[in-house]
């Protein structure tokens, strides 16, 4: 493991209606951050495919409007396939720079889309994904639910890297599943730009005694198509997400951010030994655990509506 390295969180606006253009922008930002010395990069939730802030998809309770179905069709079209051009662009950028990249995407799988975090290794390209387990509020209208088969913590020369998306960070058992896998670099792509989010990220760092890297978009209404159905308004200068990206160390000290000023890249020096120093007095899955009282059970099986054998149990 390296003694010290630079990490970056990318606070930038997506191009919601054009995933290839968004991937091209992301690749340029990867190269920029790598040129500044960063080895680990974290992008926001739904950077490819777009976060539909303010959209309702035409769904009052008990009905679906035709225009909402068309909104979903367009959103589905803007999502990415994991064998598509967008992934190839990011693989090229990470291979060229040697960085480790975590980025939020909207992943198209059949007729369903998922809010997903992708993991890219400079040498191996796309190596893993995490599908958001629990879409929040109206997100459930448009995103499928992930399962326990995509909750990786990846061992790398930089540390053990995993991702928890947005309000999954408020799921105690989800956090515990990450801690139980020995996570040291806890990535939190998000769309939450509220002031309270910073406190959550500090809590996670203190609880897990890990580095936390949170990235949120800074994006205006003008980044979306003119006919985008936005309940917040249509002024192109209206800020729909204001950022708040940040990096926190294992004792809760904020190393960078939160920043609400606009598009930017935030950097911090990461010292892996700080994780062990933090666990001296609190190790949530070690000497501070009480396995005689509490037990964590995680179902890591992939869930399917119908298996290849026709069994509708959902188990594979």
For the chain, where are the alpha helices, taking DSSP H only? 19-35, 66-78, 85-97, 172-180, 196-208, 273-278
Q: How far apart are CA 270 and CA 265, in angstroms?
A: 16
CATH class of 5-278: alpha beta
Rounded mean pLDDT, 284-291: 93
307: pLDDT confidence band, cut at 50, 70 and 90?
low
- The single residue of 25, 53, 132, 279 carrying the catalytic annotation is 132
The pLDDT, as a whole number, for residue 2 is 66
Exposure pattern of 166-182 as b/e (b: 16+ CB <10 Å)?
bbbbeeeebbbbbbebe
312: pLDDT confidence band, cut at 50, 70 and 90?
very low
Report the sign of the C-alpha dihedral through residues 118, 231, 134, 209, in that order: positive
- The strand pair at 185-190 and 159-163 is best described as parallel
304: pLDDT confidence band, cut at 50, 70 and 90?
confident
- The three-state secondary structure class of 258 is strand
Which single residue is written with the structure tokens 């326990």?
Answer: 148
- The three-state secondary structure class of 54 is coil
Rounded mean pLDDT, 197-224: 98
More confident residue, 313 or 102: 102
314: pLDDT confidence band, cut at 50, 70 and 90?
very low
For 45-57, write each residue's pLDDT tens digit: 999 999 999 999 9
Instruction: List the strands of the sheet with 185-190, edge to edge.
Output: 153-156, 159-163, 185-190, 211-216, 245-248, 254-259
The pLDDT, as a whole number, for residue 275 is 98
| Mean pLDDT estimate for the chain | 94
Rounded mean pLDDT, 144-172: 97
- pLDDT at residue 168 greater than cutoff 70: yes
3: pLDDT confidence band, cut at 50, 70 and 90?
confident
Strand partners, 259: 245
How large is the C-alpha radius of gyration of the chain?
19
Q: Is 18 exposed, middle or buried (0-12, 13-18, 19+ CB in 10 A)?
A: middle
pTM over 0.85: yes
More confident residue, 42 or 3: 42
53 carries an active-site annotation: no
65 carries an active-site annotation: no
The pLDDT, as a whole number, for residue 33 is 98
- The single residue of 45, 86, 91, 168 carrying the catalytic annotation is 45
Q: How far apart are CA 161 and CA 183, in angstroms?
A: 6
For 94-121, write each residue's pLDDT tens digit: 999 999 999 999 999 999 999 999 999 9
Which single residue is written with the structure tokens 């995407």?
Answer: 105
Rounded mean pLDDT, 286-296: 92
Q: Where are the beta strands (DSSP E) in the chain?
A: 5-11, 38-42, 100-109, 112-121, 125-131, 153-156, 159-163, 185-190, 211-216, 218-220, 239-242, 245-248, 254-259, 264-270
- The single residue of 166, 187, 216, 230 carrying the catalytic annotation is 166
- pLDDT at residue 183 greater than cutoff 90: yes
């Amino acid at each position: 493991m390296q003694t010290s390295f630079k990490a970056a969180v990318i606070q930038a606006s997506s191009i919601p209606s054009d995933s290839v253009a968004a991937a091209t922008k992301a690749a340029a930002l990867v190269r920029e951050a790598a040129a500044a010395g960063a080895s680990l990069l974290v992008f926001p939730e739904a950077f490819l495919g777009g976060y539909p802030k303010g959209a309702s998809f035409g769904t009052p309770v008990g009905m679906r409007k035709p225009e909402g179905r068309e909104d979903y069709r367009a959103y589905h079209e803007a999502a990415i396939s994991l064998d598509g051009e967008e992934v190839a662009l990011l693989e090229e950028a990470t291979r060229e720079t040697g960085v480790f990249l975590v980025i939020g995407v909207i992943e198209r799988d059949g007729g369903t889309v998922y809010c997903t975090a992708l993991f890219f290794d400079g040498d191996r390209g796309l190596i893993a994904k995490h599908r958001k387990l629990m879409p929040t509020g109206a997100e459930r209208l448009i995103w499928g639910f992930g399962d326990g088969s995509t909750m990786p913590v990846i061992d790398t020369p930089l540390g053990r890297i995993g991702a928890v998306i947005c309000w999954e960070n408020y799921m105690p058992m989800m956090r515990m599943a990450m801690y139980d896998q020995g996570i040291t670099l806890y990535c939190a792509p998000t769309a939450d730009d509220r002031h309270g989010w910073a406190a959550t990220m500090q809590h996670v760092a203190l609880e897990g005694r890990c580095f936390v890297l949170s990235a949120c978009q800074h994006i205006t209404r003008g980044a979306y198509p003119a006919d985008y159905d936005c309940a917040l308004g249509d002024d192109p200068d209206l800020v729909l997400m204001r950022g708040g990206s940040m990096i926190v160390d294992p004792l809760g000290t904020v190393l960078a951010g939160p920043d609400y000023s606009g598009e930017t890249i935030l950097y911090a020096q990461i010292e892996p030994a700080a994780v062990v120093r933090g666990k001296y007095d609190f190790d949530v899955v070690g000497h501070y655990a009480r396995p005689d009282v509490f037990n964590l059970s995680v179902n890591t099986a992939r869930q399917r509506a119908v298996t290849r054998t026709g069994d509708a149990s959902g188990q594979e």
